[in-house]
C-alpha cells in the first residue's frame, strides 16, 4: 500500500512541498534522538548500532542527546545491550525489563514504546527495517498518529531542525525526501547495512533511565508457543559479506547463473542477483540484492550482466569497489561502478574464475558458498 502520496510526483510535490512547518504547542517539548535497540533472543541486531552511528550525527547537528532504547526480559543480555549503547555513541539509555518483553510480540512492545514516547517525548525515533522493526514501527506510528518513513537511504537535519528522510520511490526508480513536519516523533526505519557500522568505543558509560512497564501476561492475547531458530545453512550472509558476486538478466538464462556461483566459490564470496532473477525463479528471494532485497556493503562487488536500476543501485552503493561487467557501455551501472568491463559476462566469468583460482591459494571454503 502506499507511503508516498499517490503516484504523481510533480503534483504531490506541488500540493504540499511548499507546506510550512507549524509545530503544534504540544510537540514543542519533544527533544532528542532515539534509536530502538532490537534485542531478540539475547542478540542485538547490528542494524541498531548502524542506526546509532547515524543517530549520533543527527543528534550532534541538532545539539541534543542520543539515546538507545532497550526493551527485553530481565537478565544479563538486556543489561549488556544497555552497556553497548554507550560503546556505540549513546549519551543515555532507556531500559525496560519485563517478563512480557522476553520475546518479541507486537502487543507488549508497541504498548511499551507508546508509553515511553508519550512520557519522555523524543523528536526522532529510528528503528531497523527488519521484520521486527517494521512490525513495531507501523503500529507505534499508527497509535501515535505520526509520520513514518520506511526504508530510508539517507537521513539529514535541515535548516529548521526537521528530519529529512530520503528513500527510493516508484519501485526504486526515483528518490524522494519525506518530512513529518507537524507531528512528533518523526519516525523512520532503515534497512541493515544501509549505514556503516560505527567504531566501537571501549570504556564509555552513561546514565540509565529505567522505566517500569506495568503490562502483565494476562493482558496479552498472542502467545509464543515455540521459536524455531534458523539452521545456519539456510541463511545467506549476503548483507555482511566482504566479497559479493551477483548476476542479472544479461546472463541470458538460469543455467548461465551457475557461472556467478563458480566465481563466488573461487573468491570465497557470497552470491546474489537482481530482482528480475528472483521474479523469474533463477535464484531464491533471500539472494536478491537491492532496495527490496538485501543491502550490501562489501569491499568488492562484482555485478555481471546487471544494468543497474536505481532500486539495485541503492542496495550496493556502500561497496568499496564495484566492478561492472556489461555489454552495454551506456548501462546505468557504469554511472556508479568504479571499474567497467564492456564484454559478455557469460564468456568472461569463467576466465576470471580461472584467473582467481590461479592467483589465490586453493579454495577450501566451498562448503560455505555451495
Partner 1 sequence: MHLVVCIKQVPDSAQIRVHPVTNTIMRQGVPTIINPYDLFAIEAALRLRDKHGGKVTVLTMGPPMAEDSLRRALTYGVDRAVLLTDRAFAGSDTLATSYALSQAILKIGQTYEPVDIVFTGKQTIDGDTAQVGPGIAKRLDLQQLTYVSGVNEVNLEGKTITVERRAEGGVQILKSNLPCLITMLEGTNEIRRGSIDVALAAARAEIVTWNAAAAGVAEMGKCGLKGSPTVVKRVFAPSPRADKAKIIDIGGLTPDAIATKTLDEIFNRLPTIEKELTAMAQG
When asked if residue 5 is in the footprint of partner 1 (CB under 8 A), the reply is: yes
Stretch that binds partner 1, among 25-33, 89-97, 207-215, 271-279 (CB under 8 A): 271-279
Closest approach of partner 1 to the CB of residue 207, in Å? 29
Closest approach of partner 1 to the CB of residue 116, in Å? 17
Determine which residue in the list 307, 313, 315, 316 makes contact with partner 1, applying CB under 8 A.
Answer: 313
CA distance 65 to 59: 6
Write the DSSP symbol of residue 197.
P
Contact 265, 356 (CB under 8 A): no
CA distance 77 to 42: 5
Contact 155, 190 (CB under 8 A): yes
When asked if residue 215 is in the footprint of partner 1 (CB under 8 A), the reply is: no
Nearer to partner 1, 258 or 343 (CB): 343
Nearer to partner 1, 29 or 364 (CB): 364
Contact 68, 35 (CB under 8 A): yes
CA distance 42 to 53: 21
Determine which residue in the list 108, 122, 172, 198 makes contact with partner 1, applying CB under 8 A.
Answer: 172
Between residue 326 and residue 365, which ones bind partner 1 under the rule CB under 8 A?
Answer: 329, 333-343, 347-348, 350-352, 354-356, 359-365
When asked if residue 77 is in the footprint of partner 1 (CB under 8 A), the reply is: no
CA gyration radius, the chain: 22
Nearer to partner 1, 1 or 212 (CB): 1
Which position has the grid cell 498518529?
A: 145
**Cell triple for 369:** 558458498
Closest approach of partner 1 to the CB of residue 345, in Å? 11
Task: Measure the CA angle with vertex 159, ends 155 and 163; round to 5°.
Answer: 30
Determine which residue in the list 23, 62, 176, 209 makes contact with partner 1, applying CB under 8 A.
Answer: 176
Closest approach of partner 1 to the CB of residue 77, in Å? 14
Task: Please report the beta strands in 265-349, taking only residues with DSSP state E, as ranges in sequence order.
Answer: 270-273, 300-304, 321-326, 339-342
Contact 312, 296 (CB under 8 A): no
Determine which residue in the list 43, 61, 119, 214 makes contact with partner 1, applying CB under 8 A.
Answer: 43
Give how many residues touch partner 1 by CB under 8 A.
Answer: 119
Closest approach of partner 1 to the CB of residue 198, in Å? 21
Determine which residue in the list 48, 98, 149, 307 makes contact with partner 1, applying CB under 8 A.
Answer: 149
CA distance 128 to 352: 37
Amino acid at each position: 500500500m502506499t507511503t508516498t502520496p499517490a503516484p504523481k510526483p510533480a503534483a504531490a510535490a506541488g500540493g504540499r512541498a511548499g507546506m510550512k512547518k507549524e509545530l503544534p504547542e504540544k510537540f514543542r517539548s519533544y527533544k532528542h534522538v532515539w534509536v530502538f535497540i532490537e534485542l531478540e533472543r539475547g542478540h542485538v541486531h547490528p542494524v541498531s548500532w548502524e542506526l546509532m552511528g547515524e543517530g549520533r550525527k543527527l543528534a550532534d547537528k541538532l545539539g541534543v542527546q542520543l539515546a538507545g532504547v532497550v526493551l527485553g526480559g530481565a537478565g544479563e543480555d538486556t543489561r549488556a545491550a544497555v552497556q553497548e549503547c554507550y560503546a556505540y555513541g549513546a549519551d543515555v539509555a532507556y531500559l525496560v525489563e519485563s517478563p512480557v518483553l522476553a520475546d518479541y510480540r507486537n502487543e507488549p512492545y508497541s504498548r511499551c514504546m507508546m508509553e515511553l514516547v508519550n512520557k519522555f517525548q523524543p523528536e526522532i525515533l529510528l528503528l531497523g527495517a527488519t521484520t521486527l522493526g517494521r512490525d513495531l514501527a507501523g503500529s507505534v506510528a499508527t497509535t501515535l498518529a505520526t509520520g513514518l518513513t520506511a526504508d530510508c537511504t539517507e537521513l539529514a537535519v535541515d535548516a529548521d531542525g526537521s528530519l529529512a528522510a530520503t528513500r527510493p520511490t516508484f519501485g526504486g526508480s526515483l528518490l524522494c525526501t519525506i518530512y513529518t513536519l507537524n507531528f512528533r516523533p518523526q519516525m523512520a526505519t532503515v534497512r541493515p547495512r544501509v549505514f556503516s557500522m560505527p567504531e566501537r568505543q571501549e570504556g564509555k558509560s552513561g546514565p540509565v533511565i529505567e522505566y517500569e512497564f506495568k503490562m502483565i501476561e494476562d493482558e496479552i492475547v498472542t502467545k509464543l508457543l515455540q521459536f524455531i531458530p534458523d539452521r545456519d545453512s539456510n541463511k545467506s550472509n549476503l548483507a555482511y559479506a566482504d566479497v559479493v558476486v551477483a548476476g542479472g538478466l544479461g546472463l541470458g538464462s538460469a543455467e548461465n547463473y551457475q557461472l556467478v556461483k563458480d566465481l563466488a566459490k573461487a573468491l570465497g564470496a557470497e552470491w546474489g542477483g537482481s530482482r528480475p532473477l528472483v521474479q523469474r525463479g533463477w535464484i531464491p528471494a533471500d539472494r536478491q540484492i537491492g532496495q527490496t532485497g538485501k543491502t550490501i556493503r562489501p569491499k568488492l562487488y562484482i555485478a555481471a550482466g546487471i544494468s543497474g536500476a536505481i532500486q539495485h543501485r541503492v542496495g550496493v552503493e556502500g561497496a568499496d569497489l564495484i566492478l561492472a561487467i556489461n555489454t552495454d557501455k551506456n548501462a546505468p551501472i557504469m554511472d556508479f561502478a568504479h571499474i567497467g568491463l564492456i564484454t559478455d559476462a557469460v564468456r568472461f566469468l569463467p576466465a576470471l574464475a580461472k584467473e582467481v583460482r590461479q592467483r589465490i591459494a586453493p579454495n577450501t571454503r566451498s562448503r560455505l558458498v555451495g
